[in-house]
Amino acid sequence: MTTIEKGVLDRIEDGLHAVIIVESVQQEFIIAASKLPPDAKEGMYFEVSIKDGDIVDLAFDQQETALMKEAIEGQLKRLQAKSGKSRFKRN
C-alpha cells in the first residue's frame, strides 16, 4: 500500500544523498540526491509517496513551501520587534 505524506528536504549530504523528514510518520528518509528536482533546496516541501518504508516518488509542494516560508518570516519579524534589553552583560 502506498501512502502520500508531506516531507521537507532537511539536507543534502556530500551531494549524493538527500535527507527528507516526514513528521506525520516521525521518520527520516535518505534517498539519492539525483531523485530530487535540479533546483531543490533545503527547506523545500514535497509530497512523497511511501511504499514498504521507502520513498518511491516525490513532487515539489509549492504551496506548502510558501506557507512555511511565510510563517517563518512572520516569527522572525516578531522576534526582531522585541527590542528589549538583553539580560546578558557585554564585555
Specify the pLDDT at position 81: 82
* Nearest by Cα to 7 from 71, 61, 72, 73: 61
DSSP 1-35: -EEEEEEEEEEEETTTEEEEEEGGGTEEEEEEGGG
Residue 91 lies in a domain: no
Specify the pLDDT at position 6: 96
Q: Give the residues of the chain that fall short of pLDDT 70.
A: 83-86, 91
Residue 65 lies in a domain: yes
Q: How many domains does the chain have?
A: 1
Residue 86 lies in a domain: no
Residue 29 lies in a domain: yes
Specify the pLDDT at position 86: 67
Q: How many Å apart are CA 69 and CA 72, to the nearest integer?
A: 5
Specify the pLDDT at position 88: 73
- Give the CATH number for residue 29: 2.40.50.140
Specify the pLDDT at position 79: 84
- Supply the range of the domain harboring residue 49: 2-81
Specify the pLDDT at position 82: 75
Specify the pLDDT at position 83: 62
